[in-house]
Chains A and B, each alone.
Chain A
Amino acid sequence: MAKKRILVVDDEVGFTNLLRLNLEKDGRYEVRIENQGAKAVDAAREFQPDLVLLDIIMPEKDSGEVLADLQREPSLKDLRVLFLTATVSIKGVAQRDGTIRGMPFVAKPVEPKKLIRRIEEELNS
């Protein structure tokens, strides 16, 4: 079975490296990291991910702008996005059933197992 492609866009280098290790260890995913929000669209165009894990607050270009850029790109406009945030707590996200304004969210830090479960939910939704 083909591996699902996950693009991680987050400016925290340590976090993204660890995330890649954990996701790739699972065996079901091919992961690409982009630590600069400004380069996210180029990375997505090239990598053609099944899902983007997108950090909310990043320097230079944050998630709202990145999302708007992704949606403007014809080949990416139906791309699924799962947001990552350290701003709202795990409890806060859970209280909102994992969504804020209808968008799927995961609070950081997140346990690998829980993140994978959430990724699978998004990929199968």
Chain B
Amino acid sequence: MKHPSDALMDMGLEYMQRDLRTAFEKGLRQHFGDFVGGMLMDVVNYRERLKLDAPRLREMVENDAAAVVGAIVANRADGALMLMIRSQMIGSALLDDRDAVIRWATEGLGRSRRVGGQWTDTERQWKWILEDPTRYIMHARQLKYFLNQF
């Protein structure tokens, strides 16, 4: 069993991490604007411990791709699939794979309408990425590089 002071330490760390995360998101939104900053927060939340270009990242993107393909073949169209597609797009951006970013963003855009609900609101995001995939890749990789300094 944990000593009470350790539990307090854990709780303190949790609060601090939450506050820092909120402050970081606020900073991103201030720096890039609300729309792009919000989108980049998804990059921050994506597989936090993995470094850019890490073989493990490549392997995870590959494994997740198989899961997405399986879901598409099974004719699924739901929020879980949309989250997987977004993850694939972020992972591909971090790996600097422009073609894959375009492929996933196109897929996300097409499906956001089909899935509906809150995903309809993401249409603008997918379009922004497709408008200039290189810009998105640069922001995502710079951000990940910065985060990996810590």
- Which A residues fall within an 8 A CB radius of B? 56-57, 59, 62-65, 67-68, 83, 85-89, 91-92, 96, 100-101, 103, 105
Determine whether the beta carbon of B65 is less than 8 Å from that of A67.
Answer: no
Encode B51-80 as 1/0 by CB contact (under 8 A) with A: 000000000001101101111111110000
- Which B residues fall within an 8 A CB radius of A? 62-63, 65-66, 68-76, 103, 106-107, 110
Determine whether the beta carbon of B72 is less than 8 Å from that of A96.
Answer: no
Cβ contacts under 8 Å, B65 to chain A: 87-88, 92
Given contacts A57-B103, A57-B107, A59-B110, contact A88 B72 (CB under 8 A): no
Determine whether the beta carbon of B70 is less than 8 Å from that of A62.
Answer: no
CA–CA, A91 and B61, complex, Å: 13
Determine whether the beta carbon of B103 is less than 8 Å from that of A64.
Answer: no
Determine whether the beta carbon of A64 is less than 8 Å from that of B68.
Answer: no
Chain B's interface: helix, strand, loop or mixed, by majority? helix
Which one of A67, A68, A96, A100 has the greatest number of beta carbons of chain B within 10 Å? A100
Which one of A65, A85, A87 has the greatest number of beta carbons of chain B within 10 Å? A87
Would you give the shortest CB distance from A114 to chain B, in whole angstroms?
19
CA–CA, A62 and B73, complex, Å: 8
| CB-defined A-B contacts under 8 Å, sample of 18 | A56-B72, A56-B73, A57-B107, A59-B110, A63-B72, A64-B71, A64-B72, A64-B74, A64-B75, A64-B76, A65-B75, A67-B75, A87-B68, A88-B65, A91-B62, A92-B62, A100-B70, A101-B73
Would you give the shortest CB distance from B123 to chain A, in whole angstroms?
15
